[in-house]
Amino acid sequence: MKQALKILVVDDDDNVRRLVAAYLEREGYSVSQAADGHGAIRAVEQAPPDLLILDLMLPGPGGLQVARRLKDSAGVPIIMLTARGEEEDMLRGFEAGADDYLVKPFSPKVLVARVRAVLRRAGLAEEESEGPLVLGPLSIDERSREVFVDGSRVDLTAIEFDLVRALAEHPGWVYSREQLLERVWGYDYLGDSRVVDVHIANLRKKIGDDPSQPRFIRTVRGVGYKFSVPGAQPE
């Protein structure tokens, strides 16, 4: 199993930190927190994260000071969070080293999408892996974007591949249709969430998954779907 990417969330608002951490941890990231500028600097110097989510207005050294110092010393990618959305403030954030800028109040789903984009640009995308993801009789090769079931290659569309990979990354986790839309189609998708059901049905046919007795993809009524590994202990 690949090691989770590490993200440090820095904000003096406990509720914001908890909300952001909850969404990121649900996506498989390892999250630590700091409540002020001094805490942010200490945390990065002790254990540099893969990405820093940094509030602009902080006790102690402000977000701009922290960004300048850490960008120079650690080179860590930074997403700036702030309640100040004026163009001048954004430019100051980018000049201080921010890779992206999100104005409060923000959608946690949009933040997760921005996190993925910044990590991808930094060459740290979580999709990268050393070898195929093997889950019982199903194998997912992310480099070649191929799926094999019982040793036989399954011909999937791009969306079907991304969908089975999203589900299989965390077996047993329940994903709502909205979460799958955000992960597979993108946070700016504005279509009907029932499109997920259509693609799940097509995917099940191709991987030989009977909905009444599924080997891999289970329906969680009223919520969405989860991936189950054949032969694993009962859920």
How far apart CA 173 and CA 35 sit, in angstroms, is 30
Supply the pLDDT for residue 83.
81
Supply the pLDDT for residue 190.
56
Contacts 24+ apart (CB under 8 A), 84-87: 84/56, 84/57
**Of 1, 56, 58, 52, whose CA–CA distance to 31 is shortest?**
52
How far apart CA 9 and CA 194 sit, in angstroms, is 34
**Contact of 58 with 81, CB cutoff 8 Å:** no
Structure tokens at 201: 């049905």
Q: Where are the domains of the chain?
A: 6-121, 133-227
**Which option is the CATH number for 133-227: 1.10.3720.10, 3.40.1670.10, 3.10.20.30, 1.10.10.10?**
1.10.10.10
Quick one: pLDDT band at residue 232, thresholds 50, 70, 90? low
Look at strands 175-176 and 224-227 and give their pairing: antiparallel
Quick one: pLDDT band at residue 51, thresholds 50, 70, 90? very high
Q: Say which DSSP state 21 is in.
A: H
User: Considering the domain 6-121 in this protein, what is its CATH number?
Assistant: 3.40.50.2300
Q: Is 207 exposed, middle or buried (0-12, 13-18, 19+ CB in 10 A)?
A: buried
pLDDT digit string (tens) for 108-149?
A: 888 888 898 888 877 776 544 456 888 889 999 988 889 999
pLDDT digit string (tens) for 54-96?
A: 998 899 899 999 998 887 777 789 999 888 767 777 778 888 8
Query: How many other CB atoms are found less than 10 A from the CB of residue 87?
Result: 7
Supply the pLDDT for residue 191.
62
